[in-house]
């Protein structure tokens, strides 16, 4: 079928949707992220396995941008496995897991990803805990989540809550420039 008119009526209106744009790499830095997907996959060569994660940036100018990581967990190269297991340990500890038996345990967990740029691509160097992770995990509703039936419990009066502080993404500063005196760091930069 080569006829777009048969699929779109009069044809496809190119102004009816937002055009695909190019995504630049994120600048090096620390980004608060939430793990949206985690899956163990076989390597292309079929000689090992890796854990592939997809994360969404939670705050700052890169908010809602995606980051991906591939962590070698089984490979003919013992050095690749050693590096991968160290990275998996950092990820697990950053999201509060003492042991990981299933990749689904990582889903909807928040942490801070330390990102660098290598060969014009983002690469995650390591992970650290995100101090506000429990509140973020409880309040985050993935865009693909299914609607749930409302609870039938009577309402309970809750004390008023203060709005959580909004932290801008930590930006790398030039070496000669110091942060302003008295400036507080966001929790993932401490």
Answer whether residue 161 is part of any domain: no
- What pLDDT score was predicted for residue 135? 54
Report how many domains make up the chain.
1
* CA 78 vs CA 75, 109, 189: distances in Å: 7, 29, 32
| Widest pairwise Cα distance in the chain | 65
Q: Model pTM?
A: 0.62
Domain CATH code at residue 30: 2.40.50
Q: DSSP letter string over 84-129?
A: HHHHHHHHHHHTT-S--SSGGGGTT-EEEEEEEEETTEEEEEEEE-
Q: Where is pLDDT greater, at 143 or 19?
A: 19
Range of the domain at 39: 25-131
- Helix and strand numbers (H, E) in the chain are 3, 5
pLDDT at position 42 over 80:
yes
Residue 137 placed within a domain: no
pLDDT at 136: 54
Domain assignment present for 166: no
Is 54 among the domain residues? yes
Query: How far is the C-alpha of 2 from the C-alpha of 90, rounded, in Å?
Result: 50
Q: Is 56 contained in some domain?
A: yes
pLDDT above 50 for 151 = no
């Amino acid at each position: 079928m080569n006829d777009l008119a048969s699929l779109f009526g009069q044809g496809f209106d190119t102004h009816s949707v937002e055009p695909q744009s190019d995504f630049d790499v994120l600048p090096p830095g620390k980004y608060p992220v939430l793990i949206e997907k985690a899956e163990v996959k076989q390597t292309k060569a079929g000689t090992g396995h890796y854990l592939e994660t997809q994360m969404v940036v939670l705050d700052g100018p890169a908010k809602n941008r995606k980051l991906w990581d591939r962590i070698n967990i089984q490979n003919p190269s013992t050095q690749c496995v050693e590096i991968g297991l160290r990275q998996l340990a950092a990820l697990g500890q950053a999201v509060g897991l003492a042991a990981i038996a299933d990749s689904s345990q990582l889903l909807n967990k928040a942490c801070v990803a330390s990102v660098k740029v290598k060969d014009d691509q983002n690469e995650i160097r390591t992970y650290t805990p995100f101090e506000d992770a429990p509140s973020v995990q409880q309040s985050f509703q993935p865009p693909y989540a299914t609607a749930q039936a409302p609870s039938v419990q009577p309402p309970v009066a809750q004390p008023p809550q203060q709005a959580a502080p909004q932290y801008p993404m930590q930006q790398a500063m030039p070496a000669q420039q110091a942060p302003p005196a008295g400036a507080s760091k966001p929790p993932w930069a401490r």
